[in-house]
Structure 1
Amino acid sequence: MWEAWFSKDLPFPDGPYKFHGLPGLIVKLEDKTKSHQFLLKGNKKLKAEDHSWDYILALEKEAKHEFEGVKVNPAQYKKLFMTYKNDPAKDIKLDLASPNTSMTVTTEGGKKITNNAEIIKFFEESMAKKYKSFNNQLELNLHRK
């Protein structure tokens, strides 16, 4: 259950994440347990020469690309999500399965990895670390059977 505060003075039916459709911009949103809270901290009118437009247009292009993907129902999405969560390096493993395929990965520390087995290990470890810290998701039903 979520509670949302919105402003009719900002007549945009938008908000954070998947929350939208109210008769004004959502400025505050929280779940009943207060474990998830969104608060609008500010806004500004962008000028044409503002570099933020480049970022916004890039996000818009990325979103358009994502929405042109394959539509799945909630059960299919949950299955795909759990498959990815259980083996987030699966795609890298498939890409590097051929001995003729090579790749170079540069870590945050600047180290370059070219050995396929080391690249797979790097992705497995970094994704495991990501999921360990990514433990407060909005979509609670993704983790329930």
Structure 2
Amino acid sequence: MKNFFSILFIAVFAIANAQDSKETANRFFYELTFKPKKDSAKIEKVMTVLDITKQKSIYRDYTTISQDSIIKVQIEAMQKSGVYKDLSKSVKMPKFSEKIDKFYPDMKVLYIERVANGFTPISIGYSENLKFDWKILNEKEKIGTYNTQKATADFGGRKWTAWFTTDLPFQDGPFKFHGLPGLIVKIEDSEKNYSWVLQGNKKVENWEEISYAEKISGMNSKVSEVSREKFNKTFSDFKKDPLASARPYLKAEMMSQKMPGSELTIGEMVKTQEKMYKDFYNSNDNPVELTNKVSVGNLEKVGKEKDKK
């Protein structure tokens, strides 16, 4: 989602024309408490959401989605006035950029990130067929309004404890977690690096997968699915130099030009955006998965993952 801000000066005056099929989704709100740094006791919190539709579920940071109406008003004002405004000063940035789809009924997991292709954001992802080796225990607990039962599993180099409820008949949960006889209400690792707790839910009528911010930046729902190895390399290269693919187009003449209605030059804005990227990706060195190769009981790869050039 952060990619939107780095290409804002190119897309800000474009009128969104991407279309999404609209349907109803069940939206579950999970408060995520996490340690962004391995060697620090500091913890942070962010609201995340799991949207469940008939075909799949979508997990992501709720920050940008929650500000869609604010972004829409400000973008439309810029389009009308022709004057650039730096939205990073008035819009809260997300903590996480990934999106995770789980496709029903086989529960194939598709992990997605955004990278840049020149000035255009694109989605790349890798798929997995995760079979969690859950151990369901007899222990029960009331969490909020939900009657839950305990389960444990190993995943991504961490030991996890989950509490699920059969009151909500979805065999799903936050992040990649799924496969229990009901929705996961709470899940955390043994060292409490990551802890998700369900805070509530609602039905979303006329639900759309692509947010307004993503639409005006040129984003759509198409994902280039590659092997996990290629994904890791592509995303790692992008984090090291997010503007690498755009740099050939950033000519000196263009960089010295001022933004419409602003004293800020394009070069100064690009420098600011580059710093924002680096700050964003350097803010968390404690990933949910400690290992690149997942180990969750019986893990099955989805055939041979496709590399799409």
CA contact (8 A) 1:103 1:114 kept: yes
Q: With structure 1 as the length reference, what TM-score do the two structures score?
A: 0.67
Counterparts of residues 53-132 of structure 1 (less than 5 Å): 53=205, 57-58=207-208, 60-61=209-210, 65-66=220-221, 68-97=222-251, 104=259, 113-115=264-266, 117-132=267-282
Aligned residues: 126
RMSD: 3.2
Secondary structure of the residue aligned to 1:118 is: helix
User: Equivalent residue of 1:19, what SS?
Assistant: coil
Greater share of helix: 1
Residue from 15, 18, 25 that aligns with 2:176? 18
Taking a change above 3 Å as real, the CA distance of residues 97 and 53 of structure 1, as seen in their structure-2 partners, is: farther
Question: CA–CA distance in 2 between the matches of 1:94 and 1:134?
Answer: 29
Cα deviation, 1:22-80, whole Å, max 9, x if unaligned, reads: 22111011123211110112224x3xxxxx535xx23x246xx44x3221111111101
SS of equivalent residue, structure 1 residue 130: helix
Superposed CA deviations along residues 108-137 of structure 1, whole A, max 9, x for unmatched, are xxx67442x223211211111112323332
Structure 1 distance, partners of 2:187, 2:253, is 50
User: Retained in 2: the 8 A contact 1:92–1:120?
Assistant: no
Q: For the Cα contact (< 8 Å) 1:6–1:24, is it kept in 2?
A: yes
- Which structure 1 segments of 5+ residues have no match? 47-51, 106-110
The structure in which a higher percent of residues are strand is 2
TM-score (norm 2): 0.35
